[in-house]
A = this chain, B = another copy of it.
């Protein structure tokens, strides 16, 4: 009984890594689609988000089943409840990647991000991809310094998000209303993406050390 449970927990951990890998792929492709105005790529991200949602539901159900069948306590319970929350955050990160792709698709064949902000969004893309990649790695190897790197890139995403507002409101902005709307939403999507990754990384730290990061108190 115990061995089966351990095997199922282990499999759950592996599938969480797989979910994170899909999110990493989604945000990478979405950002490239955005920065290069690639319609086919944007559409693939939008379609593949269904797979992320399906995987989320499947993992969710397995967590509930484990709770019901094994009535776990202590560490096992902590792992499963925390996994449920990480699944929810990763699914949301997938949604945010899809939102980026939807804006890229909606503006095709034009670029959604005007030239004046393309450098800022290229940096946001790079930071989001690093954050996603490190989240996958952290879920794989539980090397806690990665959580610190994720936090730093989240801080960078917040700064870049501020840069977007500074560019919009600094008096030099010559974009159209559509561009203003798009970069406002895109900035928000990337900023939220970072928040969710920090939330996942803090939950990994919590599982490994039993300490809940103070960041969890910092709601966005």
User: Which among B49, B74, B180 is the interface contact of A181 at CB below 8 angstroms?
Assistant: B180
Note all chain B residues with C-beta closer than 8 A to A74.
68
Question: Given A53-B219, A217-B53, do A169 and B178 touch, yes or no (CB 8 Å)?
Answer: yes
Give the interface SS of chain A, mostly helix, strand, loop or mixed.
helix
User: Which among B165, B177, B184 is the interface contact of A169 at CB below 8 angstroms?
Assistant: B177
**A91 on the B face (CB < 8 A):** yes
In the bound complex, do residue B53 and residue A67 qualify as a contact, i.e. CB atoms below 8 Å apart? Answer: no
In the complex, 18 of the A-B residue pairs with CB atoms within 8 angstroms, ordered by the A residue number, are: A49-B219, A64-B77, A67-B77, A68-B77, A71-B71, A71-B72, A71-B73, A85-B88, A88-B88, A95-B220, A165-B181, A168-B177, A169-B177, A181-B184, A184-B184, A184-B185, A185-B188, A188-B188
Note all chain B residues with C-beta closer than 8 A to A184.
180-181, 184-185
**A18 on the B face (CB < 8 A):** no
Note all chain B residues with C-beta closer than 8 A to A91.
219
**A84 on the B face (CB < 8 A):** yes
**A173 on the B face (CB < 8 A):** yes
Report the nearest B residue to A57, measured CB to CB.
Answer: B217
A67 to chain B, nearest CB (A): 6
Note all chain B residues with C-beta closer than 8 A to A81.
64, 67, 84
- Interface-central residue, A73, A78, A95, A177, by most chain B CB under 10 Å: A177
Q: Top 6 closest A-B pairs, CB basis?
A: A71-B71, A180-B180, A184-B184, A181-B184, A95-B219, A68-B73
- Interface residues of chain A, those whose CB is within 8 Å of chain B, are 49, 53, 57, 64, 67-68, 71-74, 77-78, 81, 84-85, 88, 91, 95, 165, 168-169, 173, 177-178, 180-181, 184-185, 188, 217, 219-220
Note all chain B residues with C-beta closer than 8 A to A49.
219
In the bound complex, do residue B181 and residue A168 qualify as a contact, i.e. CB atoms below 8 Å apart? Answer: yes
In the bound complex, do residue A177 and residue B173 qualify as a contact, i.e. CB atoms below 8 Å apart? Answer: yes
Note all chain B residues with C-beta closer than 8 A to A178.
169
Q: Compute how far the CA of A60 lies from the CA of B78 in the bound complex, rounded to whole angstroms.
A: 12
